[in-house]
Structure 1
Amino acid sequence: MTSTRVRGSEANGRERVVPDHEVAIIGAGFGGIGAGVELTKKGVHDFVILEKWGAAGGTWHANKYPGVAVDIPTFIYSFSYDQKTTWSKFFTPGNELEEYANELVDKHDLRRKIRFNTRVVRQEFDESQNIWALTLDDDTVITARHVIAATGGLEQPKLPEIDGIDSYQGVLMHTALWDKDVQLAGKRVAVIGTGATSLQLVPEIAPEVGNLTVFQRTPIYVGPKPDLKYNAFWRALFGFPGVAKGIRHAINLSTAYIPDAVFNLDSKYVESASMAMANRIRSWMRTQVDDPVTREKLLPYYGFGCKRPSFSNTYLKTFNRPNVDLVTEPIQRITEKGLLTADGVEHEVDVLICATGFAIWDHMPAFPTAGRGGKDLKRFFQESRYQAYQGVSIPEYPNFFLVLGPYGYVFGPYHMLIESTTAHAARVIAETKKRGATTAEVKPDVHQAYFRKMHQRNKNHLWLSPACSTANTYYIDNHGDSPFRPGGFGEMYFHNKYFRLDNYRYGSETVAPVVKVASRRKRNKEVVG
């Protein structure tokens, strides 16, 4: 079922369909909110935001595990046009970030644009009308001329691929789907994973549980966390006109022109710097843990920066508690009662918590997406590697834009990326409308030139060097590539804001649908209209 409107007929006799909306934005997290703001700036007001949850906030609405917080200073984890100075801490708790998201929704009058509890399960480009058809989980269809996918990278929780996980008879939950009704007090609890989420969770639940066993595959670098309270001084400083924005601009400008020089350096220099930093951080980590055996198990020896580094003043010290154990033997399988490790020990637990992150690459795109000729995007990524021009658009997928696409994200403040890629999408959509066109598609040669440049830079990237060979990092995809943008914030920002609009091809041609004739032979596709 679809509510798509029909307006008259074209010269060729086919009905011309008017889509339900000019733009459909998928996701009401910060990416979707940013997209709505940028479209409004460009005078594009006919858009809808489709959100699978019952509230805005994306990751910060979904993740409710104990200790959840942002892991970079909050004064740069916000939009440049909506700086906030009333945070409680430098590393803000998740509930405050969800509140910030809702404040933005109301300030920019976006709530009336959002359809909550609306999950997109697939989308397909209709070449006969140059519109996207988005199928929802109730089988209804919404149509739009353009689509901005703002589903984010932390979309699909990833359970560990361990034999027997379905046989476990206790309470099993992933941190991204936290069940607040589960009581942990006095229980035997196991946590699988020692990444950024685990660093926040473990110190919070350790004092409450009876016994906590943390299963570690690869240790990570943990540095001291300057988690100062956002007192009157800091609020006054960052509230002073231009200070917070000035810091952001300084970050942009300082990284605008150096990426080519940095990524042309021989990787041995980057590896040396990485190892020097690793030595310093390991020295600090050693001061946090009393037991020498546990201390050594917690120390990483790959290069610093190969995995996402984290900050905590309490995680390492948690292993000094008598009720907390660290297990580094590989998990052989999960049993009805707990976890069996390679040394033959069965660790019986009442609650099994998976702090195992998200299926970032396997879940891109977040749902089946078919472009021209029914070309499946996930299959394209698997066969041709992950790629997108500026991390935003892909040939043969007209009018489709990613907020967090391959080779788009420079590691650091997420909102800088959002402001960049959503501005990119809004520029193209506005230009399409201005030209009276119905499609905008990045030119293949432009796309390929960008893809080649990213690969050339990555040849000397730390993540692809021997220093990271044992890191087991999600920075590397199944192709052995690192589809993050090897560049600086400034370059990302300026190239998305000021790329040549003629890097896209604009048109109104449509392709006649394939029909059956009496002989049952299919008519060839032809360009019409």
Structure 2
Amino acid sequence: MGEPGLVIIGAGFGGIGMAIKLKAAGYHDFVILEKADDLGGTWRDNTYPGCACDIPSHMYSYSFELNPDWSRMFAPQQEIWDYLRACADKYAVTPHIRYGKRVTALDYDDARRGWSVTTDDGTTLRTNAVVSAVGALHIPKYPEIAGRTAFRGPAFHSAEWDHSVDLTGKRVAVIGTGASAVQFVPRIAPSAGHLTVFQRTPPWIHPKVDPALSPGLHRILRLPGLARTVRDGLYWLLETRGLGFAADPRLMKPQRKLALDHLRAQVPDPDLRRRLTPDYLIGCKRILYSSDYYPTLTRENVELVTDGTAEIREHSIVDAAGAEHPADVIVYGTGFKVVDALTDQHIVGRDGLKIQDAWRDGVRAYYGIATTGFPNLFFLLGPNTGLGHNSVVFMIESQVRYIVNCLRLLSRTGARALDVKPGAQRAFNRRLRRRLDPLVWNAGCSSWYLDEHGVNRTIWPGFTFEYWARTRKVQPGAYELIF
């Protein structure tokens, strides 16, 4: 195979979706570079007990490949992974994937008006365009705790679960109470001898209505139009959750009441309930969904520590109040590097511009897809395109369509590359900040949505249908065409 016309980095929901739509648009000259030995991204890597989607499965899937056979309202990890593999096979994307290819450098060649893509085995591909589909939830984040490397027992991150470690009868310490922890804590507590959960900040939690979906319902959903109707209904139901996010934080009151009622119903002990009650505006951090996390914390063999972690020793963890908690195993449920996932990479654009210099004052892009100074480099789920209320797969599909339209603009004009104009990017980000800064995510809590300056570089501040509408067409005037 010769040099590809386009390189996609990553074979998760973004990369596979991009590849499918490229083929549908008549673009077959591309490769997908995947660092692992299988596709799936987040849903390949996260195999911790209880791993599942927290968006209803009929919405957390491609709009063009509906699945009437999801086993539950919120599909488990293996099922989502299988779905992605089936999509890649059905749409003949699999032959385009090159496994074991971790991209280490992207360099733009001003003379050639194209990109050089270098992988960790020393191979360099020359290509016209690059789509970065590396995702946001793939670089585990570990806490900075004194003595972390001193621990003598097994210690691992939830995204790198060590299934060889038998937790039966062990003293297990879990650090972190985010989206992953609320899923795996209820699964490991019954077999653990003692489970100590270290909570820095309590999450807001809504009940998770997760019924098993019967074979009879699967048959009904196969009737013409039924699965589409269910998806459409779910979409608009989820969009209503965006009212408090995208419009007015005061509209979050019903969501707050739902969370407090859920906590009150599941935790009878007033002291434990007090320690599990957040003191920040709901929605400022990601709202979690679970109906078994709170009951798990009321078990006799489970202890919640809210004093923070001061030090890790060979066989224990010392909290900020000085109490020592023995531990045989530590599980880190401390999330991922999100905002800095892209800024750590070697990406050099026009005139030697490094991505770190372009983003010195904060990560920013035009509709989260293109960044000034980096022609024909497109991001999926780039800056400010994450969501707190609906499915990011919907956002991915909007971005994929936009990128295909950019490629069509190049074909129509005969240009070699396009680069978003600085003025267009500045104007977009001014509008973004004006809309975003007064909203719930900037209500004073610290979260993975924010960068080191406390600025939200992660979340889209509006409804998803707004993003869909604004990215339907490419505005040629926003771009410099490079011939």
Asked if TM exceeds 0.5, the reply is yes
Alignment identity in percent? Answer: 35
1:418 corresponds to 2:396: yes
1:387 to 355, 364, 368: 364
Q: Deviation of residue 360 (structure 1)?
A: 0.3
Q: Deviation of residue 274 (structure 1)?
A: 2.6
Select between 437-446 and 97-106 the one with higher mean Cα deviation: 437-446
Matches within 5 A, 1:101-500: 101-246=84-229, 248=231, 270-365=248-343, 367-381=345-359, 383-411=360-388, 412-465=390-443, 469=444, 471-483=445-457, 484-500=459-475
CA distance in 2, matches of 1:350, 1:339: 10
Letter in 2 for 1:401: F
Residues 237, 388 of structure 1: alpha-carbon distance in 2 compared, 3 angstrom cutoff: farther
Where does structure 1 differ by over 6 angstroms across 4 or more consecutive aligned residues?
Answer: 250-256, 259-262
Select between 241-250 and 361-370 the one with higher mean Cα deviation: 241-250
Q: Name the SS of the counterpart of 2:82 in structure 1.
A: helix
Aligned pairs, number: 481
Letter in 1 for 2:96: K
Letter in 2 for 1:122: A
CA distance in 1, matches of 2:460, 2:170: 44
1:507 corresponds to 2:479: no
Alignment gaps of 5+ in structure 1? 6-19, 509-529
Deviations 1:131-161 (A, max 9, x none): 1111111122122110000000102100111
CA distance in 2, matches of 1:187, 1:35: 44
Residues 310, 410 of structure 1: alpha-carbon distance in 2 compared, 3 angstrom cutoff: closer
CA RMSD of aligned residues (A): 2.3
Residues 276, 66 of structure 1: alpha-carbon distance in 2 compared, 3 angstrom cutoff: same
Residues 114, 334 of structure 1: alpha-carbon distance in 2 compared, 3 angstrom cutoff: same
Deviations 1:103-139 (A, max 9, x none): 0100110110000111001111111211111111112
Q: Is the 8 A contact 1:31 1:150 kept in 2?
A: yes
Q: Deviation of residue 295 (structure 1)?
A: 2.0
2:31 matched residue in structure 1: 48
CA distance in 1, matches of 2:208, 2:238: 24
Select between 328-337 and 351-360 the one with higher mean Cα deviation: 328-337
1:76 matched residue in structure 2: 59
Q: Name the SS of the counterpart of 1:378 in structure 2.
A: helix
Q: Deviation of residue 163 (structure 1)?
A: 1.4
Q: Is the 8 A contact 2:58 2:230 kept in 1?
A: no
Select between 60-69 and 338-347 the one with higher mean Cα deviation: 338-347
Alignment gaps of 5+ in structure 2? none
Residues 200, 276 of structure 1: alpha-carbon distance in 2 compared, 3 angstrom cutoff: same
Q: Deviation of residue 255 (structure 1)?
A: 10
Q: Deviation of residue 441 (structure 1)?
A: 1.2
Residues 115, 224 of structure 1: alpha-carbon distance in 2 compared, 3 angstrom cutoff: same
1:8 matched residue in structure 2: none
Letter in 2 for 1:344: G
Select between 242-251 and 160-169 the one with higher mean Cα deviation: 242-251
CA distance in 2, matches of 1:107, 1:77: 18
CA distance in 2, matches of 1:449, 1:200: 41
Q: Is the 8 A contact 2:244 2:252 kept in 1?
A: no
Greater CA radius of gyration, 1 or 2? 1
Residues 288, 193 of structure 1: alpha-carbon distance in 2 compared, 3 angstrom cutoff: same
CA distance in 1, matches of 2:133, 2:207: 32
Q: Is the 8 A contact 2:245 2:439 kept in 1?
A: no
CA distance in 1, matches of 2:236, 2:75: 26
Q: Is the 8 A contact 1:164 1:333 kept in 2?
A: yes
Name the TM-score, length of structure 1 as normaliser. Answer: 0.86
CA distance in 2, matches of 1:424, 1:50: 21
CA distance in 1, matches of 2:305, 2:420: 50
CA distance in 2, matches of 1:173, 1:373: 42
Name the TM-score, length of structure 2 as normaliser. Answer: 0.94
Select between 52-61 and 429-438 the one with higher mean Cα deviation: 429-438
1:93 corresponds to 2:76: yes
CA distance in 2, matches of 1:476, 1:422: 25
Deviations 1:305-349 (A, max 9, x none): 111111111110001211111000121111122211121111121
Letter in 2 for 1:82: E
